[in-house]
Structure 1
Amino acid sequence: MPTSPRETSATLGRVAVFAALIIVLGTVVVPLPGGVPITAQTLGVMLAGLVLGPRVAPWAIVLVLALAALGLPVLAGGRGGLGVFVGPTAGYLLGWIAGVIVIGLVMRTGRVTWWRAAAASLVGGVLVVYAFGIPVQALVTGVPFGPTALSSLAFLPGDLIKVAVATLVVVALQRAYPRAFPARREAPVAA
């Protein structure tokens, strides 16, 4: 965590940038039956976890969710308000917090590599988010868990593309601008 006012300011800036990125990526929406759209916001969640790590990334998610709770249209399709926390997407939103923590933890276990970034994004950004989202969606919509899980497979191809994009972006960013990874300044990039 930051120890000086300058580091605190830099950390707050990173949190704000990733919260803004997640919000902007919410403008890319493909509506689906069942109330849960395909969005690019999970790409922002993956990138936040990969770059900010397990301690700072959750704050970017909490900021987005707090803005949504205040009624600002920061979620996919311009949604906001307390209703999103009791709707079919509520579990996915909460899964973002757990997901970025898992992504950050996986990335902190060693050097930044493409396979570590891909594994972190897949486990935290897809599996963990689904683990929270699917049961809540089933509960809210009244559809049994099995059919809800099966219908969630519609998200998988897009999520795998997001994993690939997040991996490519974070590896390129690490090589081009290692200072973006404050906790990893000394860690070299391995292919």
Structure 2
Amino acid sequence: MATKDIVLAALFAAIIILLGIVPAISLGFIPVPVTAQSLGVMLAGAVLGAKRGVMATLLVMLIAAIGMPILAGGRGGIGVFMAPTTGYLIGWAFAAAVTGYLAERLITPEQTGLTQIVYFFIASVIGGIVVLYALGITWVAFFTGIGLSKAFLGSLIFIPGDILKAGIAALAGRAVMVGYPLLPQRA
């Protein structure tokens, strides 16, 4: 692991942490708030690739576990890993891994800008929504005892916002490919 990889992972961990400043919006009918930090997870995977994206998310989880209030709503400490949102937090690493893996496989410098944006979007949706929701919804269902169908239906409210986040991640991924052509060379 090169120093550049560690620095990039730390930078994107900082971006995820900064997105935690945006206040969490509690919906009331599901114990999972709307946050901006999942955008950072999508960005980490899309821009950094699987390996460095996972490093960034694991660093954020480590910092949160030791007690720093870096998660949306000022949460931190080991207790955040024993709550209804735990599946989503653990899912961050898997979401970044899948988003990064797909971005590494689907996007090439020879493609048109629109094609790259579409592929970044697909990677962000599959990793940052499908994978993240699979883990998060499963955890919510079993932790709260509400069942998978109710947890799934309650989570549908997040889809429009997460589609928007995937679009932002896609545009950012394309911008990085244009502005920093050496960065996409994955670790």
* TM-score (ref. length: structure 1): 0.89
1:116-153 deviation digits (Å, cap 9, x = unpaired): 10110000000000000001011112212111110101
- 1:129 aligns to 2:129 (yes or no): no
Residue 180 (structure 1) aligned with residue 183 (structure 2): yes
C-alpha contact (below 8 Å) 2:47/2:176 kept by paired residues: no
**Aligned residue in 2 for 1:146:** 149
Q: How far does residue 49 in structure 1 lie from its aligned partner after superposition?
A: 0.4
The equivalent of 1:18 in structure 2 is 12
1:31 alignment counterpart = 26
2: distance between equivalents of 1:15 and 1:66? 13
Alpha-carbon distance between aligned partners in 1 of 2:180 and 2:5, rounded to the nearest angstrom: 16
By how many angstroms is 1:182 displaced? 3.0
1:42 aligns with 2:38: yes
Residue 57 of structure 2 aligns to a residue whose secondary structure is helix
Runs of 4+ in 1 over 3 A off after TM superposition: none
Indicate conservation of the 8 Å contact 2:107/2:120, yes or no.
no
User: Which secondary structure does the structure 2 equivalent of 1:12 belong to?
Assistant: helix
Pick aligned residue for 1:160 from 150, 159, 163: 163
Superposition RMSD in Å: 1.3
Corresponding residue to 1:80 among 67, 76, 81: 76
- Mapped partners of 1:105, 1:90: distance in 2: 23
% same residue: 43
Question: Is the 2:41–2:128 contact (alpha carbons within 8 Å) kept by the matching residues of 1?
Answer: yes
Counterpart selection for 2:87 from 79, 84, 91: 91
Structure 2, unaligned stretches of length 5 or more?
Answer: 109-115
Corresponding residue SS for 2:186: helix
Q: With a CA cutoff of 8 Å and minimum separation of 6, indicate the structure with the bigger relative contact order.
A: 2
Of residues 73, 96, 103, the one that matches 1:100 is 96
SS of corresponding position for 2:64: helix
Q: Which has the higher strand share?
A: 1
Q: Which moved more, 1:124-133 or 1:75-84?
A: 75-84
| Cα deviations by residue, 1:11-56 (Å, 9 ceiling, x for unpaired) | 1110110000001111222222232111110110001001111112
**Residue 62 of structure 1 aligns with which residue?**
58
Q: Read off the aligned partner of 2:20 and give its amino acid letter.
A: G
